[in-house]
Structure 1
Amino acid sequence: MIDKIDTNKILKYLKDLLEISSPTGNTLKAVDYLINQFRSLGVDYTVTNKGAVIATIKGKNDNYQRTFSAHIDTLGAMVKEIKSNGALAVTPIGGFMMSSVDGENCLIETLEGNIYTGTIQNIKPSVHISGNEARELKKVPENMEIILDEKVFKAEEVEKLGINVGDFVSFDTRTTFTEKGFVKSRHLDDKASAATLLYVIEYIINNKIQLPYTTNFFMSNYEEVGHGATAAQPINTKEFIAVDMGAPGPGQNSSEYAVCICAKDSSGPYDLELRKKLINVCKNKNIEYKIDIYPYYGSDASAVVSAGWDFKTALIGPGVFASHAYERTHTDALNATAKLILEYSLT
């Protein structure tokens, strides 16, 4: 029986992760953070060639293994062009609406590791200048640009700063923890789940829990572009459970106050037997849960199946409102997700 979940520990991990910029393709700092946490906990881990981190806790049965995944890479952008006026054209990393970052502060990181600040704006940001043209402008990449917080007026002045095409752009997370348990931030997809897995690992280690099966925690770093978990899986894995996010909204059954269990997404149905087991744990342990279907969603569990791995797969996670925009969840959902993972790990 799992004792009460320590919400503050989950939130501490979440705060740490959200403070580290990690757009897909530029996740080394987040990887280093994970490595430091695993070392401090005394957990065995490996780092794949692609940069994913796999923590492993040995169980009684080493031939039948379970693997949970979360991803530490986030949405972001790259510099596509240095414009003649000193602004930067951008290309998005991951599938988000450009309107969701219109007016957002951002960071630009050069190859040398220098950081510059700026703001993502559309090319007609002022109604006082453009009137209805500003209101009707389509928010697509070609109509968006970064205005640097530097006195630059032409491309050559930007280039002297060391900024170049291909430099990574990360968004201001605007993280807020409210007194009533709400968490508002960019990149709760999927750092909320990554923080939850870190807490689960800490709980198992600190409480000296003997797991029935060797259990792996696969922290992927290319999920937002579709190939995060496609390679380097522990070969004895029989069950792969992606811990990502549920998506509450109109027409959906998901909730910000529960762990969400996905029956089907854009990759098709998840394993029925595994889904039943997870639901039964929720029922038996009084864990608040919701079952849902996401037609425009794919996960690391989708990726492992498409790569040809012979795993039973499932997808669970805390409900996250306004996914791929300025997101929100609640500590109830984080607690329910942590408890489901822990209780299932003991079955």
Structure 2
Amino acid sequence: MKTVIDADYLRDRLQALLAIDSPTGFTDNVVRYCSRELERLGLKPQLTRRGAIRAISQGGRRQGARAIVSHVDTLGAQVKAIKENGRLSLVSIGNWSARFAEGARVTIYGTGDIHRGTILPLKASGHTFNEEVDTQPTGWEHVELRIDAITGSKRDTGALGIEIGDVVAVDPQPEFLDNGFINARHLDDKAGVAIMLATIEAFQREQSTAPVDIHWLFTVAEEVGVGASSVILPEVASLVAVDNGTSAPGQNSSEFGATICMADESGPFDYHLTRKLAELCMEKDIPYQKDIFRYYRSDAAAAIEAGHDIRTALITFGIDASHGYERIHIDALLSVAEALFHYVSSPIEIARDVKEFATVQSFTRQPEKDPTV
């Protein structure tokens, strides 16, 4: 696939994003990074009180604007309790299994200093517990955080400036291979953010034009269900979310090409918008497939639940072992970015979307058995 997207730029942005800890609730630093990059690309980002970003590329018309969204926040944990042995009990930030937390190196952002540590199962020594290491249950109540500091009691840990509620960020441990595979935690949705930045870079570099304003949105609490609930302006008519697609047994997603999600647990995505994305992929020779995600929601769901009357779609990059030890391929990132590049500059097909309310004469049509109705 020939693409206008700068693969090196996309890869560099992803590496930079992964280096910034940003579990939900601890996103100020990544918001600052994204804002600076948007400014460097010639846009003027605006931030909500909590840090969601909106940057607008002016098009031929303000009303009926298109929005593209991804989220900068990731999974993580918080200190639930300080144990008598000085170690920490944890509660997850976002929905992920403690199975994938075991062995993780982490940073504890204490009220005082910043500390390093490792998340371990309660029975971590095979020399002590023998087969019990393999038979112990999995769950957040069955792991603890060992702090890399001299502490053997609750009092010692408290003296380090660590308190209940402190944020624990999990190391991404990224590895970029020459064959295009990328292994890391938090590719959901740092890769989506990198895709959006690469799309904007190409849009600006090519001096592209759009029929309507393009709202580039970056949210800060998607992993806890908030997503794009409060960053969308009234003139937006459609929203395309960029996130991970689950390439797993029983799914049609792939680590190659773009995956257009037709429905998730919140229901079907907009018929006309998803069809437009698929037709663009076919027209521009962008490899793609369609899928449905049963245990999944995105920024789009949060926007609809917040009461925004907009069309929504979800375009994804296939990710193996989502919310675990994740892997993607650069091919999918480039495919999604290419699709977005052509989408934002494509003609408007549903003219009535300029208005919030219009007559039935201008309303859209879907296939029907009796075309006289």
2:134 is equivalent to residue 135 of structure 1: yes
Aligned to 2:284: 285
Aligned to 2:299: 300
Q: 2:110 & 2:151 partners in 1: Cα distance?
A: 16
Amino acid in structure 2 at the alignment position of 1:178: L
Q: 1:183 & 1:283 partners in 2: Cα distance?
A: 26
Contact 2:188 2:243 in 1 (8 A): yes
Q: Work out the number of aligned pairs and report it.
A: 345
2:27 is equivalent to residue 15 of structure 1: no
More off after superposition, 13-22 vs 119-128: 119-128
Aligned to 1:332: 331
Amino acid in structure 1 at the alignment position of 2:244: M
The SS at the match of 1:159 is: helix
Amino acid in structure 2 at the alignment position of 1:273: H
Aligned to 1:31: 31
- Cα deviation for residue 133 of structure 1 reads 2.2
Aligned to 2:209: 210
Q: 1:111 & 1:209 partners in 2: Cα distance?
A: 47
The SS at the match of 2:319 is: coil
Contact 2:227 2:300 in 1 (8 A): no
The SS at the match of 1:281 is: helix
Amino acid in structure 2 at the alignment position of 1:25: G
Q: 1:111 & 1:254 partners in 2: Cα distance?
A: 42
Superposed CA RMSD: 1.1
Normalising by structure 2, we get a TM-score of 0.91
Q: 1:26 & 1:5 partners in 2: Cα distance?
A: 30
Q: Deviations over 1:52-94 (max 9, x none)?
A: 0111100001111001100000000000111111100000001
How do 1:1-347 residues align onto structure 2 when only pairs under 5 Å count?
A: 3-112=3-112, 114-347=113-346
The SS at the match of 1:150 is: coil
Q: 1:191 & 1:290 partners in 2: Cα distance?
A: 22
Contact 2:237 2:311 in 1 (8 A): yes
Q: 2:208 & 2:280 partners in 1: Cα distance?
A: 18
Q: Structure 2, unaligned stretches of length 5 or more?
A: 347-373
The SS at the match of 2:132 is: helix
Amino acid in structure 2 at the alignment position of 1:292: D
The SS at the match of 2:245 is: coil
Contact 2:241 2:315 in 1 (8 A): yes
- Cα deviation for residue 3 of structure 1 reads 5.0
Amino acid in structure 1 at the alignment position of 2:4: K
The SS at the match of 2:17 is: helix
Q: Deviations over 1:99-138 (max 9, x none)?
A: 01101111100234x3210000010112221123221111
Q: 1:68 & 1:86 partners in 2: Cα distance?
A: 45
Contact 2:54 2:231 in 1 (8 A): no
- Cα deviation for residue 232 of structure 1 reads 2.8
Q: 2:212 & 2:145 partners in 1: Cα distance?
A: 49
Contact 2:10 2:194 in 1 (8 A): yes
The SS at the match of 1:239 is: strand
In terms of Rg, which structure is larger? Answer: 2
Normalising by structure 1, we get a TM-score of 0.97
User: Could you list the runs of 4 or more consecutive aligned residues of structure 1 that deviate by over 4 angstroms after TM superposition?
Assistant: none
